[in-house]
A and B are shown apart, each in its own frame.
Chain A
């Protein structure tokens, strides 16, 4: 059951991800990204990580993609298809990515080919919350510094220079 669910989500994720990196319309690509992220969230769900799936939808779909769309608007991204959206090096890039995928895929299959995941629910908010605050305090705290710094940095960069109209 979970396997089937996962398979469907996986297929959706892959197809939409392919579209994200190949679509000639930037805005379409952004929308396909939403689909991919959603599908990945589905995968998380299928792996019994409900809390992470939720966070994925909230943060990614809710915040990040919106930010991206804003950015696209602000940078006056055209909505019509652009032939120049991918560079001339794309075949080479594809080859590199392909080789990488081949290497990693082979390695993964050889190493984990026989392993099975037992469908046990272990991903509710309480589990994760406990882990964060019992074990992973330090990274969590540092993460807060990171968010603050990124925020201030983004603000500082977005400010106009004094004297600049």
Chain B
């Protein structure tokens, strides 16, 4: 009953968002503030605004959320009430971020998303990896949010206002501006899982797939991109921040793409690819040009479509097969069953992967191309950053094509070379049952789940054309070549039945382990130290006071011997002592 209410509410709310976006479309930008309180010289309160960016993001969020909500109706049955409620809250929080004109309202949405993602990731709280992944996600984003909060302080106090529309970079001291934006960037990096705060996102995969779709496509991680787009004037005013952003983005996109190339679980590959794609958007933003911003937002929109699609497809795999690990999926695939049993999923996922890989004609191709174009333009302007971004995005495009192809082939196609073997993935799960699964009951998911897939697949193709076709043919050609260069090795490896995964990549460069040793272990030690310190140092003093009191008491009892002459002696000694003492003090 309650679950039904929340289901309806969830779908309704996300449709409402779409409706609002539609209503607001074309309205002139405006702001409205409410519930303000004056604290000293600054005002703390809430404000909302509407402009193109709001409308765009609201639409994206609304559509993706609608797809996810509807999809979830079919996907999820246990604990549906809390699930749908949280997804709705999640969407609402993202909507708050999108419409916020007050940094505090933005922060509320920003962090409520973190909390919702925590709760949703740990939806399957029976599973160990879900629990730890959720905690990790929350803590890492929380850590970044501290920087974000401080950034708000710095900018807000520096500008004398916490209203986004009132932040004028010209009015802010350059040093303050750089500090503030850098601190905000910390929050962005955390939320969008960029290097060095990237490790939480892949570990968040134990959450339900629709949630992953939501997180990766429209909310949470996209919020970082949105934020910089929203505060683009402020960010662009600080060259230092933009350079840092460029470096972070470039490192991240390559790093994540490499990690994705070695991941052996569909959702994990997709997660790393999100990190990588977000980095591309950041790279575009870091150009500091209008084209860059436009390209980033364009890529954000197309990415929302195809990444949402991909995660929902992965969800179908999980739902119908039970796992999205390569090793499991291969057991179906080696008999060629998977593709045939799940035709719609196969087709839509192929579209999604193509879009992700940047195959010409699909949305991803166009948006990535616009990023490359922007970078190219900028590089021509003599910017080192532009060159840097251009080269990185190019390399990433190749890697993306590689891992998309790898995923597609290994999951859906039997390898002639392996003659029905699972492939290179047995080692991943020695306990896995390598017997043939019962494939007779395998069938495609219900229409509730497939309808969003189809919708998003259409989006993944069509969204590439909404911005109008203005391709720079040189860049487009180059990127196509890069894609081909990425695809070919994947095909070649697959056809030979080999999947070489360097240890370094498989361990994702050891970052996780290093963080564990650098942060988690010391904190555990410190916590132990703190507990012991309280017990054995501070507490010991208190106990020692008590014990010495008791001891003294016992001592005075022992002195009370009952012998009156002892008392008299003590008294006379006391007289002499007092005389001497007072003499000493007086002199």
Task: Report Cα–Cα, A89/B566, bound state, in Å.
Answer: 9
- B579 on interface, CB distance cutoff 8 Å: yes
- B542 on interface, CB distance cutoff 8 Å: no
Closest partner residue, chain A, to B566 (CB atom): A89
Residues of A within 8 A of B579 (CB): 103
- A96 on interface, CB distance cutoff 8 Å: yes
Cβ proximity bits B344-357 to A, threshold 8 Å, 1 near / 0 not = 00000000000000
Residues of A within 8 A of B576 (CB): 96, 99-100, 103
Cβ proximity bits B561-587 to A, threshold 8 Å, 1 near / 0 not = 000011001001101100110000000
Task: Report Cα–Cα, A100/B573, bound state, in Å.
Answer: 9
Q: Which chain A residues (96-125) contact chain B, with CB distance < 8 Å?
A: 96-97, 99-100, 103
Residues A92 and B572 in contact, CB atoms below 8 Å apart? no
B228 CB to nearest A CB, Å = 87
- A93 on interface, CB distance cutoff 8 Å: yes
Q: Which chain A residues (68-92) contact chain B, with CB distance < 8 Å?
A: 87, 89, 92
Residues of A within 8 A of B572 (CB): 96-97, 100
Closest partner residue, chain B, to A100 (CB atom): B576
B577 CB to nearest A CB, Å = 10
Residues A89 and B565 in contact, CB atoms below 8 Å apart? yes
Interface size on A, residues (CB 8 A): 9
Closest partner residue, chain A, to B565 (CB atom): A87
A101 CB to nearest B CB, Å = 11
Closest partner residue, chain A, to B579 (CB atom): A103
Residues of A within 8 A of B566 (CB): 89
Task: Report Cα–Cα, A92/B576, bound state, in Å.
Answer: 14
Residues B573 and A96 in contact, CB atoms below 8 Å apart? yes
Task: Report Cα–Cα, A100/B577, bound state, in Å.
Answer: 10
Say what secondary structure dominates the interface of chain A: helix
A95 CB to nearest B CB, Å = 10
Closest partner residue, chain A, to B563 (CB atom): A87
Task: Report Cα–Cα, A44/B371, bound state, in Å.
Answer: 123
B561 CB to nearest A CB, Å = 12
B32 CB to nearest A CB, Å = 90
Task: Report Cα–Cα, A100/B579, bound state, in Å.
Answer: 10
Closest partner residue, chain A, to B568 (CB atom): A93
Residues of B within 8 A of A103 (CB): 576, 579-580
Task: Report Cα–Cα, A99/B580, bound state, in Å.
Answer: 11
A21 CB to nearest B CB, Å = 14
**Contact with A92, one of B569, B575, B580 (Cβ below 8 angstroms):** B569
Task: Report Cα–Cα, A89/B575, bound state, in Å.
Answer: 18
Task: Report Cα–Cα, A87/B566, bound state, in Å.
Answer: 11
Task: Report Cα–Cα, A130/B114, bound state, in Å.
Answer: 103
Residues of B within 8 A of A87 (CB): 565
Task: Report Cα–Cα, A47/B30, bound state, in Å.
Answer: 115
Cβ proximity bits B535-576 to A, threshold 8 Å, 1 near / 0 not = 000000000000000000000000000000110010011011
Task: Report Cα–Cα, A89/B573, bound state, in Å.
Answer: 13
A92 CB to nearest B CB, Å = 7
Task: Report Cα–Cα, A96/B570, bound state, in Å.
Answer: 10
Closest partner residue, chain B, to A107 (CB atom): B579
Residues of B within 8 A of A99 (CB): 576
Residues of B within 8 A of A92 (CB): 569
A7 CB to nearest B CB, Å = 29
Closest partner residue, chain A, to B573 (CB atom): A96
Residues of B within 8 A of A89 (CB): 565-566, 569
Closest partner residue, chain A, to B575 (CB atom): A100
Residues of B within 8 A of A97 (CB): 572
B570 CB to nearest A CB, Å = 10
A122 CB to nearest B CB, Å = 33
Task: Report Cα–Cα, A135/B372, bound state, in Å.
Answer: 120
Cβ proximity bits B230-256 to A, threshold 8 Å, 1 near / 0 not = 000000000000000000000000000
Closest partner residue, chain B, to A97 (CB atom): B572
Residues of B within 8 A of A93 (CB): 569
Task: Report Cα–Cα, A100/B566, bound state, in Å.
Answer: 17
A103 CB to nearest B CB, Å = 6
B549 CB to nearest A CB, Å = 29
Residues of B within 8 A of A100 (CB): 572, 575-576
Residues of A within 8 A of B569 (CB): 89, 92-93, 96
Q: Which chain B residues (187-218) contact chain A, with CB distance < 8 Å?
A: none
Cβ proximity bits A53-81 to B, threshold 8 Å, 1 near / 0 not = 00000000000000000000000000000
Task: Report Cα–Cα, A87/B565, bound state, in Å.
Answer: 9
A18 CB to nearest B CB, Å = 19
B167 CB to nearest A CB, Å = 83
Task: Report Cα–Cα, A10/B580, bound state, in Å.
Answer: 29
A96 CB to nearest B CB, Å = 6
A165 CB to nearest B CB, Å = 29
Residues of A within 8 A of B575 (CB): 100
B578 CB to nearest A CB, Å = 11
B151 CB to nearest A CB, Å = 76
Task: Report Cα–Cα, A97/B575, bound state, in Å.
Answer: 11
Q: Which residues of A does B touch, CB under 8 Å?
A: 87, 89, 92-93, 96-97, 99-100, 103
Q: Which 9 A-B pairs have the closest CB atoms?
A: A96-B572, A99-B576, A100-B576, A96-B573, A87-B565, A103-B579, A93-B569, A89-B569, A96-B576
A-B contact pairs, 18 of them (CB 8 A): A87-B565, A89-B565, A89-B566, A89-B569, A92-B569, A93-B569, A96-B569, A96-B572, A96-B573, A96-B576, A97-B572, A99-B576, A100-B572, A100-B575, A100-B576, A103-B576, A103-B579, A103-B580
* A-B contact sample (11 more), CB < 8 A, given A87-B565, A100-B572, A103-B579: A89-B566, A89-B569, A93-B569, A96-B569, A96-B576, A97-B572, A99-B576, A100-B575, A100-B576, A103-B576, A103-B580
